[in-house]
Amino acid sequence: MEPVIVEPVRGHFGDFSWTRFSGMESARRFVKGSMPKPPIHHLIGLTPTEAGLGTMTFSMPMTEWLQDSSGIIWGGIYPLLADAPISMSLLTGLPAGKALTTSELSINYIRPPSLNSGTLVGRGRSVYLGREVGVAEATVEDGQGRTLAHATTRCVVLDIPVDEFSALPEPSEPISDPPDPYLRDVPEGSVLGPTIWDGDKLVSQRRLISREFPRSPIEILTGLEFLSVDEGRSRLSWPASPWFSAGSPFMYGGVLALACDSALGGAVWSTLDPHAVAASLDMQIRFLRPVKLDGSKLSITGSVRHSGRMIRVAEAEVFDADGRRVALATGSSMVIPGGVEMLKQGISADKIVRGEGTE
């Protein structure tokens, strides 16, 4: 099945025309819906809900599209949400003619995500905003108000020549046929359940790569494609699609973080014994250069650097189509012996990570 992102892109993107307004005014307009929505909103439902001076809130529904073939939702979903409110909390303090680019994002995973998490809420708060650099933090909460993750970021302030941009277009009428991707049903049979992890993990991963199993929802949604997996190493490609814009001409940082998390997870899981699973604990990503949304393919490699009995540490590198390094990431994961059987018994990932799976 072709990825959803081969469809014509929806939403306004490709310039910084919104910088004609102050950051606070732009944020309020986004919340009110008087600014056109970017493609990433139409793809995953990322939506601004509240704006204040130094604060910003976004929501994102936990849909079945975020699952892998086994039904697991990876921790990379958290930075996918958090990068928007954490950076825009800083934007609210900037005058017209200024924008931000994320240079570093660190995130700690507290509880694993699941479909039972409901609609996630990301709350960003400005910690420091100077002339050239800003620092902010964000929390991700589930539908019950429980904290699932905590993030910090450093952003660089950019000067934008607003006279080069035409006036921002008015919001367009929503397209209902077909509905936005995140509102659709996932293809039947794309989630096979935890039984795919029966036996050798590396063999299972290679069966997924060979398409012996159908593509997972997250692969169909994003175009993610694992190319190879060896013990302790993974290699995948990720399209630089316009669907991954949060309004600018470049890839939204949260998408790049999700791609890195996929490579880190793939490398770590290739080292697990047949009965174990791994839960992501944290990730730090450094954005080295912007990624143009020209439809080319990013190449991402993940490799395990420390393989302890309880903790695995991995690194990921991202290269653009010209071979230039665009991002570096590190992450650690906790090994949970017997986790596969717990998943097959229907025990939630949250309970497994908190040690409640054997009660």
pLDDT tens-digit series, residues 294-353:
999 999 999 999 999 999 999 999 999 999 999 999 999 999 999 999 888 888 777 887
Q: Record the pTM.
A: 0.94
Is residue 256 within 8 A of residue 285, CB to CB? The reply is yes
- Cα 283–Cα 286–Cα 290 angle in degrees, nearest 5: 130
Lowest mean pLDDT of 101-115, 167-181, 185-199, 310-324, name the range: 167-181
State the pairing for strand pair 119-129/133-141. Answer: antiparallel
DSSP assignment letter at 98: E
pLDDT tens-digit series, residues 217-253:
999 999 999 999 999 999 999 999 999 999 999 999 9
Nearest to 267 by CA among 215, 213, 303: 303
3-state secondary structure (DSSP) of residue 41 = helix
DSSP 305-327: EEE-SSEEEEEEEEE-TTS-EEE
Q: What percentage of residues in the chain have a pLDDT greater than 90?
A: 84
List CB contacts of 259: < 8 A, sequence separation 6 or more. 76, 224, 236, 238, 298, 300, 318
Is residue 13 within 8 A of residue 242, CB to CB? The reply is yes
Domains in the chain, CATH or no CATH each: 4-353 (2.40.160.210)
Is residue 242 within 8 A of residue 293, CB to CB? The reply is yes
Confidence band (pLDDT; 50, 70, 90) for 165? low
Confidence band (pLDDT; 50, 70, 90) for 166? low
pLDDT of 175 reads: 77
- Residues 159-184 as b or e (16 or more Cβ within 10 Å = b): ebebeeeeebeeeeeeeeeeebbbee
pLDDT of 177 reads: 82
- Which residue reads 């970021």 in tokens? 153
**Residue 331: is it exposed, middle or buried by C-beta count within 10 angstroms (0-12/13-18/19+)?**
buried
DSSP assignment letter at 198: S
Q: How many CA atoms lie within 13 A of 33 on its CB side?
A: 4
- 90 vs 103: CA distance, rounded Å: 13
Q: Which amino acid is at 320?
A: D
Confidence band (pLDDT; 50, 70, 90) for 168? low
Element (DSSP H or E) covering residue 285: strand 277-287
